[in-house]
Amino acid sequence: MPRALITGITGQDGLYLSELLLAKGYEVHGVIRGQNNPKRELVQQVVPDVVLHNGDLTDLSSLLRAMAVADPDEVYNLGAVSFVAYSWENARVTTEVTGNGVLNALEAVRLHSGRDLGRIRFYQASSSEMFGKVQEVPQRETTLLWPRSPYGVAKVYGHYMTINYRESYGMHASSGILFNHESPRRGPEFVTRKVSMGVAAISLGLQESLTMGNLDAQRDWGFAGDYVEGMWRMLQQPEGGDYVLSTGETHSIRELLDVAFARVGIDDWSGLVEQDPRFMRPAEVDLLVGDASKAREVLGWEPKVGFRELVEMMVDSDVARLRDGLAR
């Protein structure tokens, strides 16, 4: 039975990846931080077979302890401070977790591997935010990086550190440059979920309006369930590598609002959405759209869920959740 260790187990991707690996017959271990993490219960409910280890990406010895017990064949480093807007206010913490945390994860793998440095396969959750002020459209593995936030800068560090460990030690280390991926499990701070929750609440008369930031930014949004499959495929290759995962389509926040409101029968949302500078960023990433040709050709990976289906899935899920709550 292959064994996997996942950091960021309580996050959106951690849950989807756990489900995927368990279905494939893996023994799955997860690193969870904090003495009383409020999401522990959620993990135990969704994926009860996952073995949890206390640990933190800023604490190398805690990662080594988890490695010693799990003795994994594959390590997926999904843990991060992942909210871009927060990263300006907490740049140092973001650097420590999202940046230096990758070094700790790589070191834990290297030290635990002993002499056989190719034994454990490593996945790093890199991001399209590394492209920032984009130097090429669409963006691919070779596009020049130009991050626009402390989060983006920290991810660039983690990306190059992963490549460096591959080149220095011959480790099987891969970097997945993933474009935005969403789901009903997406954190409420991110724009798609903020919109799906807000639209659901407005449609049920529980909320009057939605307060947003920049409506003109464009993103390449896919479904998280499709993207974790791509992560796994990267680690099944004979060698580590860098791969973009994206849909190749881009949509603005306005289009997101169009589809979400239309799903609950509202065609004109202009009076229901306000803009507030509080939600604008010091530097914006205006346009992201990825070219996933390499993943398609080498990994045989393709996203299955399109933009409209994704947004409708999220709105439907939030409407059902709120209705359930009202019925109780």
List active site positions. Answer: 127, 129, 151
Pairwise CA distance, residues 257 & 191, whole Å: 10
211: enclosing H helix or E strand: strand 210-212
Q: In angstroms, what is the minimal distance from the CB of 274 to ligand GDR?
A: 10
* DSSP symbol at 241: -
Q: Which does 253 bind (CB under 5 to 8 A by kind): ligand GDR, ligand NDP, none?
A: ligand GDR
Nearer CB in complex with ligand NDP: 72/202: 72
Q: Distance (Å, rounded) from C-alpha 173 to C-alpha 171?
A: 5
Phi, psi angles (nearest 5°) of residue 271: -85, 0
Of residues 26 and 131, the one with the C-beta less far from ligand NDP: 131
Q: Give the one entry of ligand GDR, ligand NDP, none that residue 281 binds, where binding means its C-beta sits below a cut-off of 5 to 8 angstroms depending on kind.
A: ligand GDR
Helices of type H across 24-149: 40-46, 60-70, 84-89, 91-94, 101-113
What does 217 interact with, of ligand GDR, ligand NDP, none (CB < 5 to 8 A by kind)? ligand GDR
178 Cα distance to chain centroid = 7
Q: In 47-66, which positions are buried (b, 16+ CB within 10 angstroms) versus exposed (e)?
A: beebebbebbbeebebbbbb
Give, for 200, the enclosing helix (H) or strand (E): helix 191-203
To ligand GDR, the closest distance from the beta carbon of 214 in angstroms equals 5
- For residue 65, the partner it binds in ligand NDP, ligand GDR, none, with Cβ less than 5 to 8 A by kind, is none
Query: Cα–Cα distance between 174 and 165 in angstroms, integer?
Result: 10
Cis peptide bond prior to 138, omega within 30° of 0: yes
Identify what 212 binds: ligand NDP, ligand GDR, none; CB under 5 to 8 Å per kind: ligand GDR
Beta carbon of residue 220, minimum distance to ligand NDP (angstroms, whole number): 10
Query: Interface with ligand NDP by CB under 6 A: which residues?
Result: 7-14, 31, 33-34, 37, 39, 56-58, 78-82, 97, 125, 127, 178, 180-181, 187
Residue 30 or 176: the one with the smaller Cβ distance to ligand GDR is 176
Provide, rounded to whole angstroms, the least separation between the CB of residue 26 and ligand GDR. 25
Residues that bind ligand GDR (CB under 6 A): 82, 84-85, 127-129, 179-180, 189-191, 194, 212-214, 217, 219, 253, 279, 281, 284-285
C-beta closer to ligand NDP: residue 130 or 202: 130
Q: How far is CA 110 from CA 9, 12, 118, 238, 324, in A?
A: 21, 27, 9, 18, 48
Q: Whose Cβ is closer to ligand NDP: residue 202's or residue 245's?
A: 245
Rg of the Cα trace of the chain? 20
In the complex, what is the shortest distance from the CB of residue 187 to ligand GDR, in angstroms, rounded to a whole number? 8
